[in-house]
Chain A
Amino acid sequence: MRRLLWVCAFIIVAGNWGWAQKDNPVVDAHAVMATDAAHSDAPLKLAVLAQIAAGYHINDHKPSLDYLIPTEVKVDPGDQFTVKDVVYPKGTLKKFSFSDVPLSVYEGAIVVGLRLQTGKAVPAGTYTVKAKFAYQACNDHACLAPSRVPLNITVKVVPQDVPLKPMESDVFRRLKFD
């Protein structure tokens, strides 16, 4: 049995090393909601969680130089929602060999907050909010073409008498909406 466990461990390690060779995108992003559903005529908070691959950075939403392409979350709220607020994180100032001045960039994991308003007469049902996480990434010697991660966020609108359950509290606790 001990031998079997060692064999299993070997297989697990060997298999996982194979995963390391897979091609992962430079930026992964997905969206989460602050509640499990929404009410009509009420605010709805969402967050886009993005993970930037080690060694790369993307530009701050307000880039340090005017020729840099900003990071942006573009939302198509559809007929049921309106966008009230998009909250971007503060970038990190970093000096690169290709710039005389430090640049404000995002690295690692970042969170962008979205505040939508559900329409007044939106009936109960399931709706999709489409968004894109648009970015342009560089490492310390080369830049990748501008790219985007599509986000399809499923929002369930429930009657007013159905309570909403909070979700992802840790994420939303750190976001400051106006």
Chain B
Amino acid sequence: MEEQTPSENTPKAQETPEVSPPEAPPARKPKLLAGALLAVGLVVGLYFVNRYWIAPAVRAQTRTPAKADANHPLAPQFSLTDITGQSLKLSDFQGKVVVLDFWATWCGPCRIEIPGFIDLQRRYAGQGFTMIGISMDDSPEPVVDFYKELRMNYPVAVGNDRLGELYGGMPGLPTTFLIGRDGRIYAKHVGAYDISVFEAEIKELLAASPTGEAKNFHQAGRVFDEDKVELGDPATIDSEVPGVDITKLSADQKEGYKKLLESQECTCGCKFSLLKCRQVDRRCGYSRKTAQDQLEAFLKAKSPGTAAK
């Protein structure tokens, strides 16, 4: 039956004309199958896009611009022996502006900053400033060679993982801290920067009051998320199981937990037990993560819900 077109003058609803039911649509199964296949293909495709493009790009672009950090914590103290055999303590430089540079001889970006640091030391040492270099090399020999080759004119010591962790861990080298006259950290820079960035900050800190905070300090250069100053927790760093805070465990629980770690081998290939690996290789991410997971499991098994003292 023909469909009737309503007239503008239609006063009231007309009776619905009788129409035959529409023809049954084509079978929907092929469309559903195609849809399902599309969904699966989308998942697989997105997995590979994420795996090999998005996630690596996200990681590569961890330098997310951020606001300057208003948090100025006290710089952790340390006591080392520099490569000339002299004592090197941060406390010896109280009242001075310090640029504390964590670097390594195997790090190209670190090496290119050094001549600029030498120049800063030469120009500002007489004004209450000093550079301090903390090398994260595994041994002093390459550091001594490099020190002599470049005629470095400021104290350099070989650091250790514990010191790196106290300063918040090293997301990358070089990592450089600007410490004011009051012993507080005013800026952190991860990666190589033009020396002018450090010079601007040094001048500002030198001009600050020797006793109080450097108010209105401006971090020079671009600020990124990784430049946020977050210091390590000594309870975790100096733990009997480095990297795992066990201060809340009772003496018995500590012994039980350590025995558990001693009974398992680390999967990093070191052939040590988890406990030994944590103690000799603080950098090992495998033993750190496993030890943390094992602590959670241990606490659940021994005392579900709470860690009894």
A119 CA / B107 CA spacing, docked (Å) = 41
Secondary structure at chain A's binding surface: helix, strand, loop or mixed?
A: loop
> Are B46 and A12 in contact (CB-based, < 8 A)?
yes
Chain A: residues with CB nearer than 8 A to chain B? 1, 5, 8-9, 12-13, 16, 19-24, 26, 51, 53-56, 65, 67-69, 76, 96-99, 103, 130-132, 136, 138-139, 141-148, 150-152
- The stretch among B35-43, B90-98, B150-158, B293-301 that forms the contact with chain A is B35-43
> Are B269 and A150 in contact (CB-based, < 8 A)?
yes
Known contacts: A23-B59, A98-B109. The answer to whether A54 contacts B53 by CB under 8 A is: yes
Residues of B within 8 A of A144 (CB): 172-173
Residues of B within 8 A of A65 (CB): 108
Distance in Å from the Cβ of A41 to the closest Cβ of chain B?
Answer: 27
* Contact among B46, B104, B174, B268 with A150 in the assembled complex (CB-CB below 8 Å): B268
* Contact among A13, A55, A148 with B46 in the assembled complex (CB-CB below 8 Å): A13
Residue B54 CB within 8 A of the other chain? yes
> Are A1 and B28 in contact (CB-based, < 8 A)?
yes
A138 CA / B192 CA spacing, docked (Å) = 12
Instruction: Across the interface, name the chain A residue whose C-beta is closest to B267.
Output: A150
Instruction: Across the interface, name the chain B residue whose C-beta is closest to A54.
Output: B56
Distance in Å from the Cβ of A85 to the closest Cβ of chain B?
Answer: 21
Residue B60 CB within 8 A of the other chain? yes
> Are A19 and B108 in contact (CB-based, < 8 A)?
no
Distance in Å from the Cβ of A39 to the closest Cβ of chain B?
Answer: 27
20 A-B pairs within 8 Å (CB atoms) are namely: A12-B43, A13-B42, A19-B55, A22-B55, A53-B56, A54-B60, A55-B61, A67-B106, A67-B111, A97-B112, A98-B108, A99-B108, A130-B269, A141-B192, A142-B174, A143-B108, A143-B110, A143-B172, A144-B172, A152-B267
> Are A20 and B50 in contact (CB-based, < 8 A)?
yes
Residue with the highest number of chain A CB atoms closer than 10 Å, among B32, B146, B170, B269: B269
Residues of B within 8 A of A9 (CB): 39, 42
* Contact among B28, B173, B269 with A142 in the assembled complex (CB-CB below 8 Å): B173
Residues of B within 8 A of A55 (CB): 56-57, 59-61
Residue with the highest number of chain B CB atoms closer than 10 Å, among A9, A16, A23, A151: A16
Residues of A within 8 A of B267 (CB): 150, 152
Residues of A within 8 A of B51 (CB): 24
> Are A20 and B55 in contact (CB-based, < 8 A)?
yes
Instruction: Across the interface, name the chain B residue whose C-beta is closest to A143.
Output: B107
A51 CA / B55 CA spacing, docked (Å) = 13
> Are A141 and B109 in contact (CB-based, < 8 A)?
yes
> Are B111 and A98 in contact (CB-based, < 8 A)?
yes
Distance in Å from the Cβ of A32 to the closest Cβ of chain B?
Answer: 18
Instruction: Across the interface, name the chain B residue whose C-beta is closest to A13.
Output: B46
Distance in Å from the Cβ of A79 to the closest Cβ of chain B?
Answer: 15
Distance in Å from the Cβ of A43 to the closest Cβ of chain B?
Answer: 24
Distance in Å from the Cβ of B301 to the closest Cβ of chain A?
Answer: 27
* Contact among A103, A136, A141 with B191 in the assembled complex (CB-CB below 8 Å): A141
Residue B136 CB within 8 A of the other chain? yes
> Are B268 and A143 in contact (CB-based, < 8 A)?
no
Residue B78 CB within 8 A of the other chain? no
* Binary interface encoding of chain B residues 145-167 relative to chain A, with 1 for a CB under 8 A from any of its CBs, else 0: 01000000000000000000000
Residues of B within 8 A of A152 (CB): 267
Residues of A within 8 A of B58 (CB): 20-21
Known contacts: A12-B42, A98-B111. The answer to whether A145 contacts B47 by CB under 8 A is: no
* Contact among A23, A103, A138, A142 with B190 in the assembled complex (CB-CB below 8 Å): A142
> Are B55 and A139 in contact (CB-based, < 8 A)?
no
